[in-house]
Amino acid sequence: RKKMGLLLLLIICQCAINSIKTNSVSSPNIVLLMADDLGIGDLGCYGNRTLRTPNIDRLAEEGVTLTQHIAASPLCTPSRAAFLTGRYPIRSGMAAFSRVGVFLFSASSGGLPSEEITFSKLLKQKGYATALIGKWHLGMNCESSNDFCHHPLSHGFDYFYGLPVTNFRDCKPGQGSVFLKGVQKSLVIPIQITGIALVSLAVVQYIGLLKVPFQALGYFLVIITISLVVLIFFFYHFRHLNCFLMRDHQIIQQPLSYENLTQRLTKEALQFIGRNSDTPFLLVLSYLHVHTALYASENFKGRSKHGLYGDAVEEMDWSVGQVLDVLEKHNLSDKTLLYFTSDQGAHVEEISSSGEVHGGYNGIYKGGKSTNWEGGIRVPGLLRWPGVVQAGAYIDEPTSNMDIFPTIVKLAGAQLPSDRIIDGHDLLPLLQGKVTQSKHEFLFHYCNAYLNAVRWHPGNSQSVWKVFFFTPNFSPEDSNGCHDSHVCFCHGGFITRHDPPLLFDLSRDPEEQVPLNPETESRFYEILRVIHQAVENHTRSLHAVPNQLSWDNLLWKPWLQLCCSSLFQSCYCDYESGWNPLQVHLG
């Protein structure tokens, strides 16, 4: 009888242990940290020896480092759309056919469609508290200035504190403009044509060759004048119209102030965790660092070895440390999956007006932001969950930022959508060492809406093949980016097409320096045949959807403009001025 009792007690204890393990693996808290334009070579855990990132490096020591973690796009808007939905941005209409591949204005009508299912929507349905703090960049309104159809709160987030668009140079006085060079180039020819046309009409009118009604000339001049006035007004007030801070649906600071900005974002994140320490939560902390305009608070200015860029990286690392500390304070570390990444690679063309490098370091990898060379899409991928995922492990398998969607949806106990293709795969088996091979046999790399490259990792091989159907024309030619245009573009004279495609084996040539050919790779044509078949299968899976980045959806629409006062009062307000930086422990 004693033996039976002891056996029963052991069974009960084992069941209790299994129950604890199951509960720890299901419905964990989720903290997703996303940097902006951070290079994979900017972090100590990826080989940097001069920038100090001890808190981010701690994630690698206590979790898993993904060494082939790939952004679904080399640009902010489409990459973030893919991250939230687990789907290639071409499927949601978040990939542009025009030159401009991201939203530039708060009063554009395009954005992440309401039909898309985000991981925040699914986790909210499972009882999670959800918050997005920081950068959004996926649209705001559709038809009026208060319909908020693309707003974070319309995509499953309970709470939003941050920027609806992004951090532009134009947002910070004295940092130059990301638009003026492009606008000047775009307007020079139309203005010249208009001027020549007006002079020619005046001449033929004067000598009597042609009678032009003065009324028609008057209308033409009025239209030109109004257009120029609107354009000048818009760019003169760009900072007020596009650079502002919101809490939920309310503007709380317009224009945005950079003073203690990272501390304010961090404080909001810490408070959200504190408010929800007794319930499952999803926190997306989307940093403005290190997109230009660069900034750092007084506590970090001048402290790094890499100027203002390094100061910004080290301040972001401090913020990551604050998040780790608050999780420990509330005994949540073992109940929380934490992920750190960047939306794409470093922007190598970023040079300040004084000549200081304001872009990051992509390590050994070629190119950067806006290109599908590895420097543009191979990003940091760090996941920590003590007791559940391996500590100090490295996974050298192709993974994607789209994989976060199915990973956390399954952990939350939600069902993956069955009415659409989800391109991401659950990472947990890889993270726990239960499997050694990624489910991504193929990854498709788009430059805006154009299929640019394909990666193939055969199941029976260590090779990772990558083909390019076209490549950007670097300017100057011997540089590592498109410095003349500030970013690389995806069509026309900006690219060189390749037939046959360029072929690389990333397992032997991660720098993408030496394209293979039939003489150097005996399976050259067989590899291309398999990849072309994969492209055909992938293309058949695509369906026509409204283009959210069409010119009509991209252009500024005055009736969609958010303004906390009025346009005539220059859209000014500041409800953040009483913020106390001493309330955040700087450590």
Q: Name the active-site residue from 13, 15, 45, 76.
A: 76
Q: The tokens 């690698």 sit on which residue?
A: 60
Q: Which of 311, 285, 400, 393 is nearest to 36 (CA)?
A: 285
Q: Name the active-site residue from 45, 69, 137, 240.
A: 137
Q: HSE-up of 541 (CA within 13 Å, CB side)? A: 17
195 close to 276: Cβ distance less than 8 angstroms: no
What DSSP designation does 143 have?
S
Q: Which of 366, 287, 295, 305 is nearest to 48 (CA)?
A: 305
- 243 catalytically annotated: no
Compute the distance between CA of residue 332 and CA of residue 319 in angstroms, rounded to an integer: 17
Q: HSE-up of 489 (CA within 13 Å, CB side)? A: 13
Q: Hey, what amino acid is at 45?
A: C
Compute the distance between CA of residue 290 and CA of residue 345 in angstroms, rounded to an integer: 11
- 488 catalytically annotated: no
Which whole-number Å values give the CA distances from 335 to 17, 40, 386, 403, in the listed order? 15, 27, 8, 20
Dihedral pair phi/psi, residue 195, rounded to 5°: -60, -45
37 close to 344: Cβ distance less than 8 angstroms: yes
109 close to 141: Cβ distance less than 8 angstroms: yes
Q: Which of 329, 307, 388, 358 is nearest to 585 (CA)?
A: 329
The sign one gets for the Cα dihedral 172, 313, 297, 274 is positive
What DSSP designation does 438 have?
-
Burial class (CB in 10 A: 0-12, 13-18, 19+), 229: exposed
Q: Which residues contact 339 (CB under 8 A, 6 or more apart)?
A: 30, 31, 32, 33, 381, 382, 383, 404
Q: Which of 532, 528, 531, 508 is nearest to 517 (CA)?
A: 528
Catalytic residues: 76, 137
